[in-house]
Structure 1
């Protein structure tokens, strides 16, 4: 009788465990299906496509990890900002940095460091200056994955009439160089 009772309890426990595992698998499959739909919508929105099914699966896994991170971050609610899914959601941090951090420096920095500025005959200095209005810089643009200028930097020359290759006010004739 004891053996029969023990067998009954073990069978019941085993049945419960199998039911729980089946429930977990079905929930996980539903979550993956929902995430797969989100990935498909994201691909359509940003015009993404992959060369083969292996690449697509790899990018889906990265997308899923990034979405889970974004949702966990936003649910913490102790930050003054929220994260959102954007066109880079299928990239790892390393891939994003490699694709966006191609700045190699340029010659402007050496000219600016080698010159000194003297505050001579300055009576009224404005509290703010919008250098976009002065023509020294342009609004921020997303250049995608292209490198900046020639061979990764802008070659600049004083006295060149063309604006390309010039480095803002450092190239203006009125900029103090001595």
Structure 2
């Protein structure tokens, strides 16, 4: 039995042969190279990143400190991507708007619930029972309609209105409420 090829298979093979050099060229055009970057290259990339993300720093020494954080993150990205090219990882990393933050700064700013500082509370006597007031032994607040049934509240810090489909609500709900008055 001789090997016969269909025109479609031949076209696919030809297309693959033509696209292979383009794929190799695209990899060499990546802004990420592996190995230690020079100080000059890292500073150039940092300046481009700052311009792209609108970053400016006013405090004395803050820009230099942020550059060092950026450079550490760049080293991490480069090392990860070199490992990805070697087949260790199935994904690649890049520089995003968080590239000048340490892991601790990122976690403190973007993960979990932000708690407000607790102010000192003053105890009042508004809800204290009077001396001659009879109080029940217990109260079933569910029967009085004051408590809803148990619901899944999601993860700590998970707010449904923070996800993109709900962003429009942050703008429109106040407008709707104003129009009803």
Q: Report the TM-score, using the length of structure 2 for normalisation.
A: 0.43
Q: Report the TM-score, using the length of structure 1 for normalisation.
A: 0.44
Greater relative contact order structure (CA < 8 Å, 6+ sep): 1
